[in-house]
Chain A
Amino acid sequence: MAPVSTRAFSIPRPASSSLGINATLQRLAWLVGSLLVFAILWQIIAEFLQNRYLPTPVAVFDVLMREARNGELWKHTSATLLRVFFAFVISMFIGTAIGLVLGRYKTADRFFDAWLILFLNLPALVTITLCYIWFGLTDAAAVTAVALNKIPNVAVNMREGARSLSKDLSEMAIVYKFGWWKTLRHVTIPQLAPFSAAAARSGLALVWKIVLVVEAFGRSNGVGYKLTIAFQEFDVTTILAYALAFILIVQFIEFTILQPLQARVSAWRR
């Protein structure tokens, strides 16, 4: 969020935010270091066991490179990413809207609470199969199925956020005549931001896992589809290669977008 317009006052900001680059490097060092240790452990165990169903990370990496060169990797991950993106955006949007309404209006909350619990506990497999049966084996059905799994989750998070909106601060905004836009931007959204960030982070992880299931069931491209093919051939190396590719992508999004976003919305905390 941009600061209030006039920046006439030139007193340095508190130290925490001026350490930006250092803090990022440190975060990166921890991430790379811990993943490296994991890879080394895996390599040692795989070499020790010598089992064709547990390939070494080096072998997995070779397959990954091969798939990248022949274009298969890009084809399938991009298809998956597109589905993840749409499912994520749709579920964040609808889930937030539902959550805010339930958090603000007691009657709506009382009525829809049971629905929410129902959808929260509906197994992903059920929504997926039903969506395919009702809407056909299409991308729209696939994305809908994923969104339906994620929406209740986002709604529950945002409902907590809406419930915890401070009455003190909204009275302050009334007395100081903030108007609806200023109130939304400077009073309401900053209070909801931590809930939204939490929903986004847990959401991304959930969405991409369910997208793979949806693809395994009824799509002819995407990482999920590729994994089913590899499963039919008991090709563990390819399974791990694609899993690795996707983990790297999700880690990248987490590291470059979601974590900085969360750090930014909570910079003011003591």
Chain B
Amino acid sequence: MAPLNGMNVGTPIHVLVKRKTFPAVGDRQAQLVLRDVSFEVAPRSFVVITGPSGCGKSTLLNIIAGLDTDYEGEIDLGPAKDSLTFIFQTPRLLPWRTVYENIALVLPDGDPRRAEIPAMIDRVGLAEAANAYPERLSLGMQRRAALARGFILQPEILLMDEPFVSLDDPTATSLRELLMELWHSQPTTVLFVTHDRSEAIQLGTRILRLAPGEASVAQDAVVNLNEAERRDRAAVLAEQNRIFAAT
């Protein structure tokens, strides 16, 4: 399908999860994960879903992606639903395919976007590793490859589940900058899950906070930072304190 970039600003996403439970397994009781989670996402916005581990962030993302269909509620992604990409917590590259092949595989044979793969590989800084197998690369490089694989599709909706977790600080920072750069050149609706509040403020235009126990949206805040301020640690920290003051 043709990318809609620049031609159409898209339609909002509607998310409604009335109830999501994990069934009882063995001695463990059934567990309510999400209840009455309802929000709308404007097209081309960068929404960060945050909250402590176990609050159901990843489950919510899996539901939106259509990977988890066992819930009560309704997800309406509009016409963009066929142009959805998920960047996972682990890179999930095929270890028996090279970086280049991993990226090429998400495009149908003969897709014109295949011609852009080398440029994309170059942009994420993997030109030297294009024909390497993923297991020979560092985690940071594998994550770059996963980003390239996601962005080559020029998706309308991009879901990301803690894609920069368990990286050292400089690597995570450079990957965040890469993500911002890709997002600015290819604006798309992003739902980004993280438990890292500083990361949430640096990246997001809007924050949705899920709280444990409540299992629903506890806070919905807009991030008031411009691009320069997002690179400024003090500004990020001030905004972080403002938004998360109540907690």
A interface with B by C-beta (< 8 Å): 3-6, 8-9, 11-14, 168-169, 171-172, 174-178, 182, 186-187, 190, 265, 267-270
Residue B92 at the chain A interface, CB threshold 8 Å: yes
* Choice from A175, A178, A190 contacting B86 with Cβ under 8 Å: A175
* B 124-160 binary contact with A (CB < 8 Å = 1; else 0): 0001101111011000000000000100010000000
List of A residues within 8 angstroms of B244 by Cβ: none
CA A6 to CA B103, docked complex, whole Å:
11
Check A6–B105 contact: CB distance below 8 A: no
Check A268–B133 contact: CB distance below 8 A: yes
Check A168–B135 contact: CB distance below 8 A: no
Q: Assuming A9-B100, A176-B85, what are 18 further A-B pairs, CB within 8 angstroms?
A: A6-B104, A9-B121, A9-B131, A11-B131, A13-B131, A14-B131, A14-B133, A168-B88, A168-B90, A175-B67, A175-B84, A176-B105, A177-B106, A178-B105, A268-B97, A270-B133, A270-B135, A270-B136
B interface with A by C-beta (< 8 Å): 65-67, 84-86, 88, 90, 92, 94-98, 100-101, 104-106, 109, 114-115, 117-118, 121, 127-128, 130-133, 135-136, 149, 153
- Min Cβ gap A186→B in Å is 6
Given contacts A169-B92, A171-B67, A190-B96, contact A5 B133 (CB under 8 A): no
List of A residues within 8 angstroms of B65 by Cβ: 175
Check A9–B118 contact: CB distance below 8 A: yes
CA A172 to CA B88, docked complex, whole Å:
8
Check A176–B106 contact: CB distance below 8 A: yes
- Min Cβ gap B111→A in Å is 10
CA A176 to CA B86, docked complex, whole Å:
8
Given contacts A14-B132, A169-B94, contact A3 B101 (CB under 8 A): yes
- Min Cβ gap B154→A in Å is 13
CA A176 to CA B148, docked complex, whole Å:
13
CA A174 to CA B85, docked complex, whole Å:
10
CA A175 to CA B95, docked complex, whole Å:
18
Please list 24 pairs of residues, one from A and one from B, whose beta carbons are closer than 8 Å in the complex, sorted by A's number: A4-B97, A4-B100, A8-B118, A9-B118, A11-B127, A11-B128, A14-B131, A14-B133, A14-B136, A168-B88, A171-B92, A172-B86, A172-B88, A174-B66, A175-B84, A175-B86, A176-B105, A176-B149, A177-B106, A178-B105, A187-B94, A267-B133, A268-B97, A268-B135
List of A residues within 8 angstroms of B117 by Cβ: 6, 8-9
